[in-house]
Chain A
């Protein structure tokens, strides 16, 4: 496939792996303290597992699968809020597909649908707006979910709804921001990361400048990466080269998509429609300051939180769950007490087990190869 096969080329991968092996060997990394690089974005986690990248890396490099899967960091209470909205008479609740199976304290959206709620899977907020146009007698609520990647499309949809004067459309805004989240991870006392593989899609919107503090204050290198396997390998090589040369910088491997200044029209739409929340609750990471956005007062009539009575109950993560420690890279997924026993992709306790971008769901499958082969 044009523009994809070039980025999955096996000969180029071999070349990069040789370079990575050479650099790793030259760094004399102790056996018990491998370099740990966190890929922040769930899209990277998915690619790493899909192409078997982790198993190709030399000993001495470990990948830590970060919090960048918006479905995975959704707290149980927010899923309950979604179900409560979806179950109100007259509501069509529109959501991205992978939010359907995230467990709430009572049920998931998929179970709510089976129980009679009108939950529709959409591929874009624009599809939800289309539903609102087609069903003027119903209230269509779109579940706005995701980092800066999906934030602009929700904002533009709200602006469209405003222009068209559509009254039966609203957004349950759960959009989250990447920078405070990375900061929360960096502030964690048990942190032991050596660098970041930076989020490609988010950076396409926000640019590279917002990450400067990671290098300046926290002294960690970052390489903003594309999502094809060669992108990821090249980014790992760039991180190693920074370490080797004693540099600590924010580099951009994904220059074919990410401009240093970001995407101005997208950023304009975002700042027009949203304002920062004081706090936002994350599954596994707790409450993080300024890590979520809500609709500004000017767009109140599109805000599901103001249109509906939302229970807004805070449900603590299940006690046994160690999602937070996994998200921060403190433990590997298989080191969690309930991994593979009480918590499996069929009956997920923690959200990391739900989405194919979740570290635990991916590890549940891949981990079996690695441990098995290690034993051979």
Chain B
């Protein structure tokens, strides 16, 4: 149940010009038409419909679902706006849904703030809003509040989105980066590095034609299945920017343990490997948008793996390594050759090598 007042039916405005101008950010009818046409029409839900300054939800309803709120925000500035496997809209919904889900929360509500550069095509905005709406439906969340700003050419790059999300965590769920213990298993739900490689290819300056698509997907269902099958799971994180290597280092640091992964067990698509070979990049540092890293106690490792592999987003899941009692904070990899190397945090951004 929610406490939103009954909504008086009203006609949604329409934009009749092809591009966004500064007039659409002026606060008058043009702005109302833009918001109606692009966002309200796509997001269509009773909490958003009154278009008040805030969405209001029933506290008792939230309390019935769990004992803690999860609250998060993320900004999206991806270039290009549309890429193989997704677009900035899908990314903005999945990114925030996943930030809630990896904490064990059931994602419920999102807000969406858009900063639009003048000159952007209205049709492009409609396409991206439709993609957000589809992703929200898939993730079972409602986009209940929003804001739209239009800025002069050059003040932003086409479109920036910020989504903020609220979810509820059940009483029994206790996850934390500091909970990893020696002999725990390290799992991932599939092929790593697809998103990072897809975006780099889509920018076009590599002149490389690859079939790699972003893995962008909402992960709350997968994580719920994982936690149901392996309730002792210590920690879940989505390895976005900075990739697998960064998340493993954060866990090793926070828990004061060492982690060793096995290169041969770490699933990476052949095309992504080849892409990295050509450009001198390391796939362990490439971003993912539909992947999790999970730490499970040894006794639940098989159950956790089974739960992941039976979910549609986990067909290529694998146990890639173990937590060890070695030097706290150290992440190593057993290489395919049989050697061993440190997998450290990335310093700055990954720069391609010249030779």
Contact = CB atoms under 8 A, between A and B. Distances in A.
Contacts of B353: 42-43, 46, 97-98, 355-357
B354 A70 contact: yes
Given A123-B206, A345-B347, A369-B332, A55 B355 contact: no
Contacts of A50: 282, 335, 341
A51 interface: yes
B355 A201 contact: yes
A52 interface: yes
Interface residues of A, number: 47
Contacts of B354: 70-71, 96-99, 145-146, 150
Contacts of A123: 205-206, 279, 352
Interface string B151-178: 0000000000000000000000000000
B274 A1 contact: yes
A100 B351 contact: yes
A55 B340 contact: yes
A42 B355 CA distance: 8
Contacts, number: 101
Chain A CB within 10 Å, residue with most, of B206, B330, B339: B339
User: Max chain B CB contacts within 10 Å: which of A14, A96, A99?
Assistant: A96
Interface string B341-352: 110100110011
Nearest to A52: B339
Contacts of B282: 50
B339 to A, nearest CB: 2
Q: Most chain-B CB neighbours within 10 Å: which of A8, A43, A50, A123?
A: A123
Given A345-B347, A365-B344, A146 B277 contact: no
A69 to B, nearest CB: 9
Contacts of B205: 123, 127
A149 B355 CA distance: 7
Interface in A338-366: 345-346, 355-357, 365-366
Give the most central of A43, A97, A357: most B CB within 10 Å: A97
B339 A56 contact: yes
A93 to B, nearest CB: 16
B336 interface: yes
B327 interface: yes
Contact of B270 (A1, A53, A229): A1
A4 interface: yes
B41 interface: no
B337 interface: yes
B352 A55 contact: no
A56 B338 contact: yes
B273 interface: yes
A179 interface: no
A73 to B, nearest CB: 13
A140 to B, nearest CB: 15
Contacts of B338: 10, 13-14, 52, 56
Contacts of B344: 365
B352 A49 contact: no
A132 to B, nearest CB: 15
Contacts of B351: 97-98, 100-101, 121, 356
| Central interface residue in B336, B341, B344, B354, by most chain A CB within 10 Å | B354
Interface in A123-178: 123, 127, 145-147, 149-150
A74 B21 CA distance: 48
Interface string B193-237: 000000000000110000000000000000000000000000000
Contacts of A121: 351-352
B335 to A, nearest CB: 5
Interface of A: 1, 4, 8, 10, 13-14, 42-43, 46, 49-56, 70-71, 96-101, 110, 121, 123, 127, 145-147, 149-150, 201, 229-230, 345-346, 355-357, 365-366, 368-369, 372
What are the 8 A-B residue pairs with the smallest beta carbon separation, nearest first?
Answer: A52-B339, A97-B351, A365-B342, A96-B354, A52-B341, A345-B347, A52-B340, A97-B352
Given A52-B341, A53-B339, A96-B352, 18 more contacts: A43-B355, A50-B335, A52-B335, A52-B337, A53-B337, A55-B341, A56-B337, A56-B339, A70-B354, A97-B354, A123-B205, A123-B206, A229-B337, A345-B347, A355-B353, A372-B326, A372-B327, A372-B330
9 contacts: A8-B337, A43-B353, A51-B336, A53-B339, A96-B354, A101-B351, A365-B344, A368-B327, A368-B342
